[in-house]
Amino acid sequence: MSERSDRADIISPSGEMRSRTYVDDDGQAWTVSEQPFSPYDRRQGLSLIFTSDLAVRRVRNYPPTWYELPDRALAALSWNV
């Protein structure tokens, strides 16, 4: 997996940032979206943000085709924090 910087392929055909929802093995629904690093972070790039009713996770290194991963692979990726 590689560091994110300037990525044109994360934009959907409609011009919006990609996001996706999946349900993990415990029945918890997660929404995943690609977001820029915080303005307070000296690094620049994008992170995957995983949000559920119970937690939020940030993953900085992820494959460019993350939105095509099967649900289980995406759930496993969420632990690469």
Contact assessment for residue 47 and residue 58, using Cβ atoms and an 8 Å cutoff: yes
Q: Can you give the pLDDT at residue 17? A: 74
Torsion over CA of 73, 76, 80 and 81, rounded to 10 degrees?
120
Is the pLDDT confidence value at 77 over 60? yes
> Where does the pLDDT of residue 16 fall: very low under 50, low under 70, confident under 90, or very high at 90 and above?
low
Domain ranges of the chain: 2-77
Looking at residue 81, its pLDDT comes to 61
pLDDT in tens, 21-59: 999 999 999 999 999 988 888 888 999 999 999 999 999
| Global pTM value | 0.76
